[in-house]
Chain A
Amino acid sequence: MGADPSKLAMREVTALYLFANTPVYLYRKLRANESVKALSDSARPVELAALAATIDRKRKRSPQDIAVAYSAIVAATFHDSRDVHAAFDSLVLRHIDWASTILQYWYNTLVVTDTRTVRLSPREMEQTPSDTPTTSSLIVLPEGRK
């Protein structure tokens, strides 16, 4: 089906794009925009990447076009990071100046939701003589062994 930019509140996102002085500002404002979230809900990362790429290839790009491209990129960030990486990592967006900065910022601020259990096996520790003074001679092992 493809990502449908008509889900965007075009005047709002275009204003956000035009007023942005920094990529972080643009990212945060678009993330908070309900129509960008609606676009995210309606399309997969690969489709959103394709939308951004289509705009990037246009010879004539209006502010509205660029706003849609950034909205598509930010919409993708609501999805699983692995799918976003798969969709965007090999994409070169020559005319979307802040694309990589925004994606990098998003990736750096991701909250890890995976949980992993690490099991440590207790092992014997032997006290060895030391030429230099140590501050403690007591080592407490798992299960309270000293």
Chain B
Amino acid sequence: MGREIQLDSALGRHIDNEQSAEITMWEASQYRDLERRFGGVVEPRTEPSPRYNCHGLTFASRRTGISSPVSVRQALHEDGYTEVSKMDVLPGDIILYFDDRGDVEHSGVVVEPPARDPLGIPLVYSKWGKYKELIHRANQCPYNFATARYYRLHGS
């Protein structure tokens, strides 16, 4: 199994996490450009890394992966995030993608807010599982954008 590191929320409570050790051999040439099937505005930021996932980028500074929806909600709540309406989104806000059961299946960071796009689709960067970090339109990815919501840390 992967390694868990010490990761606490802003309230000092442990958040379950794991640095995946499943993959020990990357054959990079076989997995190049998997993102191309999702449209044109998809730009890689990094090479693949199994150490962290989308929630590890959003809530743990890329140090580790967070794969439990319960832990994501814990971080969201205990770090003090509050929901922001789509038209009030600013760069740096986070975006959460929910599945049809209400669990968070993906998260990322807003680069360009919906209000600046003619179709209201924000530009975000996010980590696609163990794959790369990518800059993409929020609907051009393998996750359910239809129920995406936005959150901000307003500060104390």
A positions within 8 Å CB-CB of B? 14-15, 17-25, 28, 59-64, 66, 94-98
Contacts and interface: CB of A to CB of B under 8 A. Distances in A.
Interface stretch (B14-22, B39-47, B84-92): B14-22
A18 B25 contact: no
Contacts of B78: none
A17 B53 CA distance: 12
Contact of A61 (B25, B67, B68, B106): B25
Nearest to A23: B67
Nearest to B141: A19
B43 to A, nearest CB: 17
A28 B69 CA distance: 15
Contact of B20 (A62, A64, A94, A97): A97
Contact of A18 (B48, B65, B107): B48
Contacts of A23: 67
B2 interface: yes
A103 to B, nearest CB: 15
Given A14-B31, A18-B131, 7 more contacts: A18-B31, A19-B131, A21-B65, A22-B103, A61-B23, A94-B1, A96-B22
A23 B105 CA distance: 9
B136 interface: no
10 A-B pairs closest in CB distance: A60-B25, A18-B131, A19-B129, A21-B53, A21-B54, A19-B142, A25-B105, A20-B129, A62-B25, A19-B128
Contact of B22 (A19, A59, A95): A95
Contacts of B54: 21
A94 B2 CA distance: 9
A21 B142 CA distance: 11
A24 B30 CA distance: 25
B42 to A, nearest CB: 12
A60 B55 contact: no
Contacts of B27: 62-64
A28 to B, nearest CB: 8
A63 B23 contact: yes
Contact of B67 (A22, A62, A64): A22
Nearest to A93: B1
B119 interface: no
A97 B127 CA distance: 19
